[in-house]
Structure 1
Amino acid sequence: MQYAFLEQMLMNSIKEVQIKLGYEKEAIRFYYPEKALCKIVKISGDSKEETKEFMEGFKEYTKDKLGRLKITKSQGRFCFEIPAEGVDYVYNNVEDNGFLREFIETVEKPHATLDDILSVFGKYSNGRIICEKSSQEECDYIIFFEDASFDYYRYYLKFHENHVTYHRFLLEEAMEMGI
């Protein structure tokens, strides 16, 4: 079972919110498309019983770190509600490796350029990064580390007149959304 990977994914998302918005000891929710999540955790998703068993096992697996999770499903996606004590655990126990903080700070600067952003990636990858021009209207570039062991997300960047927006997805999520 992929409990550890999913737990790390949720903790990474909590840490991202804390870097962007600051720390608040309150519950937080994350939504994942059902098909993408099943691929990520390596379950078929064809059996409601298999999915339910996985989610119940995951809640038990994470209770010591993230507290009593609430997991619901609606409109083809799962909602993970992490209680305040889980958010607090991440704040106090999950180290910031520096990359995400520096990436967010760079993206949030007015008039940030692709070179500015690539420089941050380069600093944490010894230059082994992939930067692809996107044909999608929603984003201009997709950037990710060649070696996913450091950071396994793909960063979708959209350059606007005087600022940059980004979205961070796992490959399975992006494929499910068609981006």
Structure 2
Amino acid sequence: MEDKKIQGFLHLERNLEAMIYEGIVKIGYVKGEKQSIYYDYDLLVYLLNIEQEQENIKMDIMPRLREFQTFVLKNWGKIGIEIENHRYKFNLPGGTIDHIYEKNKDNLFLSDLIGALSVKDCTLDNIMSVFYKYSQDIVCEESKNPEFNYVIYFKDTNIDEFKYCFTFGEMGKYYHRLTPFDYERLD
């Protein structure tokens, strides 16, 4: 396979793992439980590293997704991919979820972050201390999007590639974790 295609498969695999693992951290892990996750077309094109020939015309990406299924077969087993309501639904069997859990269970960043946010008097400084625990090289800036107060992320995307958008308001404290692509789409 071409390097660009493999890089896309690895990017999608890491993103799927990250999304599934975030759900495990938030709601818990049940051995053998299967899960489904949805992606929109534009995000998949970004993750798969596909260059579209024409910007406003959607190409059929299912052949590439079938290749992705083969790419992850050895470690994940057989995953299902289908189109449902104009989104791509990834059906991950319980063995895949178990594999993702085992591979990521020692990554404590999300657990620490969610734990900090669950404290009643959590402040931006508390959030920053969680990030600093994992790297001194982070970015924290006020968000340009009125929906969020701050965006924080690691400069080294090998630690974590997501941009964390935080809101501290009347409804409490919460975050949204966005890929750089999704974050750019917000602006």
TM-score range, shorter chain: 0.7 to 0.9
Following the alignment from structure 1 to structure 2, what is the Cα–Cα distance between the partners of residues 57 and 16? 25
1:47 is the counterpart of 2:56? no
Query: Do residues 144 (structure 1) and 153 (structure 2) align?
Result: yes
The counterpart of 1:11, out of the listed 11, 17, 29, is 17
Matched, 1:134 2:143: yes
Select the residue among 124, 129, 135 that pairs with 1:119: 129
Identity of aligned residues (%): 30
Match of 1:37 in 2: 44
Aligned partner (choices 24, 33, 43) of residue 26 of structure 1? 33
Determine the C-alpha separation between the residues in 1 that align with 2:171 and 2:46. Answer: 37
In structure 2, the partner of 1:78 is: 88
CA–CA separation in structure 2 for the residues paired with 1:130 and 1:18: 26
Give the deviation of 1:76 after TM superposition. Answer: 4.3
| CA deviation after TM superposition for structure 1 residue 90, in Å | 1.5
Structure with larger RCO (C-alpha < 8 A, sep 6+): 1
Range 60-69 or range 138-147, more displaced: 60-69
Shift in Å, 1:162: 7.0
Which amino acid in 1 is paired with 2:11? Answer: F
Q: Distance in 2 between matches of 1:79 and 1:137?
A: 30
Determine the structure 2 residue equivalent to 1:159: 168
Structure 1: gaps (5+ residues) = none
What secondary structure sits across from 2:160 in the alignment?
coil
**Cα pair distance change 1:163/1:133, threshold 3 Å:** same
- CA displacement 1:3-52 (0-9 Å, x = unmatched): 1221111111121111111102322122222112202211135431xx12
Q: Write out aligned runs for 1:91-106 (5 A).
A: 91-106=101-116
Deviates more, 1:56-65 or 1:115-124: 56-65
TM-score normalised to structure 2 length: 0.84
Contact 1:112 1:163 in 2 (8 A): no
